[in-house]
Structures are given as C-alpha cells and as structure tokens.
Chain A
Amino acid sequence: MTLALEVRNLVKKFGGLTATNDLSFDLAKGESLGLIGPNGAGKTTVFSQIMGELRQTSGTIKLYGEEISKLTTAERIAKGVSRTYQVPRPFAELSVRENIRVGLMPDSLRAMIFGAPDRSREAELAQSIGFAPKDLDKTASELAMGDLRKLEFARTLATGAKLLLLDEVFAGLTSGEIGMIAELIQDLRQRGFTFLMVSHDLPAMEPLVDRAIAIERGTMLANGSFADVLGDKSVRASYLGES
C-alpha cells in the first residue's frame, strides 16, 4: 500500500496551549479520510501544518514517502498536496478563468512573463468542476457560495495536486449545493484523488470517506471506520455531548 501522507507524533504548541498533541495517522493513496472533532479541536491547525502554513513544534510529516517539514508551502504544493479553506478565499475582482489561471501558474517569474496562459486548460478545469462556459468571465465577487466552493476546488485542482485537504467543505451551502459538491468529490475519488476532509456535516461526509479519525484538543480519540469512530464513547462524549 503506497502512502500519500504519513503524520507522526505531530505536536504544535502556541505558548502554553497544545493545539496538536502527539498526533499520528496515515493516508493511503486514493483513500478518503474524514477528520472530525468539535470546534477548537485543532483540525484546521493540522491542515496548516501539513501545508507548511504553520511549522510544527515536533513530529514529522511525509508526503509520498518524502519528509516535507522543512519545505515551504509552494514547494509542498509542487510535491502534490493542496488545500481549500473554511471560508473560500477567491480573488474577488478576478474572473473565474483568472482565478483558475493563478492555480495553473508555474512558480517561475520567467515562465509567468513569457509563457502564455493555457486558456483551453482553464476552460477544461472550470467545466470539469461544473462551470458553464458563460461563467468563465464572471468575476468571483458575482458568484454564490456554492460556486465559490467550486472555484476554490478548481484552483486547488489546477495546482496539479493529487492529495486534497478540504476544510469545512460544506459550510454555508444549501442542500442542493452540498449535493453538487458531494458529487464532485465522488467523481474525483473515482479519478484517483486522495482526500483528507473536515466537515461538521457528518451525514454529508459519511458517504465520501473510507474511514475517519476523531480528535479533541489536538489529541486522537478514535481511528477507524466512520461508523466505529462515531460510535466510540469518547467521541460521542466530546463531539456529541453524550455522557
């Protein structure tokens, strides 16, 4: 089994607060893993450490077998991991096409200046994610929340990453939009993408993951099938408030 991601003994401290506490988990290539926990459990902090937006206090992170802890965010993305954010972060005044273009850009000044944008690839990516051709010239500020999520997906896919970290992917969406995004994720799973996803919408998340891990205050509570993790006493106590 080829591992896409190996997190070992990850610790992140902010002064006296331990946000990630000796956390270890694996993610196989092509697998989809749900990361659940109550608000403030440290889920986004784990994402930020994997992406290099935050440096861990200790522990290791391997991507496709290679230690990436010392790499910058751009270097990690070049190695095949990318993320979305709880609140979509589009380039509001750029068009859908230009937003995707930023994701497709090589990290080289020379190539950016002298290379032409791949307009057909931009359109292909936008359409693969569900945008109509007429949407390509709309500015991001004109889009509804569901379309902003799709746009974030498109820009994340444009980086060429095969491991996608999805943070609160259903937040702020209508039930129709949740169905649309879920369908998109299923389609990407069929195409071999690997997922680590965070969502508070557990019913929407369940069919999209192979297994789940639950954390609280940065500490692993349970790791297993989605049903087993949700059935775990400690998870029910911390996450669902059951005693």
Chain B
Amino acid sequence: MRTLDLRPHHLVLWAAFIALMLLMPLMVGNGTLRTMIFACYLAMFAISWDILSGRTGYLSFGHPFLIGIGAYTTGILTRRYGIPVEASIPIAVLVTMAGGLIILLPALRIKGSYFALVTLAVMELMLQLVPVIRPDLTGGTRGISRLPALTRGAENGYYLAAGLMLAVALFAWLLMRTRLGTALWAIGMNEESVRGSGLSTTRLKSFAFLVSAGIAGLAGAFYAHYLGSITPRSFFDINILFQIIVAVLIGGAGTIIGPIIGAFFMVFLLEWLRPYMPGTERFFVYGSIALVLYMYQPKGIMAIVDTIVSKMKGSRA
C-alpha cells in the first residue's frame, strides 16, 4: 500500500465505479449496452495510448497498427489454424508486443513530431501491406469474417467488455501510481532532467511502450471477436486514431481515468447525434467540442473535475 500511496477515498471511488458498471444492465436497455460495449473498447484503446503518449509525451500515431496486430493475430489463428481463443488471445498479446517492439521501438529514439510521423507511416504501411501480403491468411481487402464469438447477447458482451476495461484500467492506474508512473510523467515534462537524475529513459520508454502495446493487442483481439470480422479499413484507419486521441484529450491525458470518461463521452455524443446527423458531419461536431474543450481546459474533463473538487474542499474549510 505504501508503494501506491492508496487512500480510503481511492478505494471508495473505485468500488463505486465498479458497482456502477456492473449494475448498468439493470438500468439501461440493450441498445445502450451495445453503445457502451464500443465505449469500453475505445476506453481500452485510449488507456493504451495514454500510458505511452499521455505520460511520456511521445505522440503515437501508430496505435491502430498495434490494435490491428492483436486483431489479425487472433483472427488468423482461430480461423486459419483452428486454434482456440483461449490460446489465440494470449498469443495475440505477445505478438503485438513483439511486433510493436521490432517495428516501432527504434522510433522511440526519435523525438517530437518525427516519432509521431514514423508511427503514422507504419500504420499507413500496414493498411497498404495487409491486403497484398499473404491474402490467403489475412483475407486481403475483404479481411476475415466469422470469427468465433466469445459471448452471446448484449448483456454478456457488455459484462465481458466492461470487466476487461475495469481490469485494464485498474492495472494501469495502479502501475502509474508507482514510482515508475512518476518517472514516465517526468519524461513527458523534461526527458533530459530524468536522464540527468540517473535514470535510463530508453528503458523506461521501452517498458511504457511494451505495456501500451500489450493492452492494445489485448483490446484489439477481444474487439475483433466481438465484431466477428476484421478488415484492414476497420483497424488500420486514421479515424480510429483520431477517436483514440480525442477521447484522451477530452478526458485528460496522463490520468488513465480521463481517457475512460473521454471515450464514453465521445461514443455517446456520436450516438445521440446520429438521428440528427446520420452522415460523417457528426464528426465535425465532436471535433468542435474537443477543440473548444481543449482551448478552455487543455488538461481535459479530469482537470475540470479536480478544480471543482478543490473549490468544494476550499469552501468547506
């Protein structure tokens, strides 16, 4: 407990959050539950991005690439080789970590916008390569369909997605409360000072990258089984990247909980807008909201909540 500096209010808030998520099927209908399933997966993608980019400041534009590796690995293993999902998903996580390490880790030596551009290039490369390299395995542009489902019905699908998201969020939150989390946060503020404090920043960034890739692979693999099919466009796509980044920025980068709030906010906003704006113009609205929020409070909803809580504490004192 001393390692994590946990306080009673942390436990109360987590218990309340878990209880709320578990009770949700009793309060909302199946349609809303299906929307929440997407929000849970987007939240996991956003947490994965936040661990690397929100903390260390290395903006990854290649996260859809990592999510896609997880999805394609489990898809290929289950559909082409008949491997059960109990094995294919852990393998997908490992393959994502290894694939990410080989392809993207060297980019961690490059700073700033160059890192972002390299990761973006890798994602675009995958979009072009996947349909043409071994289409017998990847299914080419048509992708892979009829992936084995892990659950039946909206309620079970929700419990799986929510349980997975809670586990990922709790793990990431606890990890970021250790000294390692402080060091990663410090890298985002001044990497040279971290190095000047006697810490190997390459090792720290590599670790953050591995954890981030592992979560992306895990979430990508489960998401693929939820969707039941994979196509290059549904994973290696810049729109997914924008949704992840906007979710993190709206919620609050570097906070783990912020990206969850951001993901739910975004997914529900898009759903509520659907009847009025059935086309892609909905994305202009959420882009505008993100922009206004970012201008008003660049640290996102979490910072607004923190300010309100501080003011309430101040007025009580």
Contact = CB atoms under 8 A, between A and B. Distances in A.
A105 interface: yes
B246 to A, nearest CB: 22
Interface centre among B175, B192, B196, B198 (most CB of A within 10 A): B198
Given A101-B179, A112-B180, A115-B179, A93 B198 contact: no
Given A91-B186, A109-B207, A74 B180 contact: no
A102 B186 contact: yes
B175 A89 contact: no
B198 A82 contact: yes
A199 interface: no
Contacts of A98: 182, 186
Contact of A113 (B175, B185, B203): B175
Contacts of B194: 102
B198 A77 contact: yes
B103 interface: no
Contact of A112 (B179, B196, B198): B179
Interface residues of B, number: 25
A113 B178 contact: yes
A94 B186 contact: yes
Helix, strand, loop or mixed for chain B's interface?
helix
Contact of A159 (B3, B189, B197): B197
Contacts of B196: 51, 53, 73, 77, 82-83, 85, 89
A90 B200 contact: no
A109 B211 CA distance: 13
B7 interface: no
Contact of A74 (B175, B182, B192, B198): B198
A107 B195 CA distance: 10
B180 A109 contact: yes
Contact of B200 (A72, A103, A115): A72
Given A72-B200, A102-B199, A109-B207, A91 B193 contact: yes
Given A91-B186, A93-B189, A112-B183, A102 B197 contact: yes
A114 B197 contact: no
Contacts of A74: 195, 198-200
A227 interface: no
Contact of A115 (B3, B183, B185): B3
Contact of A102 (B2, B5, B182): B182
B239 interface: no
Given A78-B198, A82-B196, 13 more contacts: A72-B200, A74-B195, A74-B199, A74-B200, A94-B185, A101-B182, A105-B183, A107-B198, A109-B203, A115-B179, A116-B2, A117-B2, A159-B197
25 contacts: A53-B192, A53-B195, A72-B200, A74-B198, A78-B198, A82-B196, A83-B196, A89-B190, A89-B193, A89-B196, A90-B190, A91-B190, A91-B193, A92-B190, A94-B182, A94-B186, A101-B182, A102-B193, A105-B179, A109-B180, A109-B207, A112-B180, A113-B180, A114-B3, A155-B193
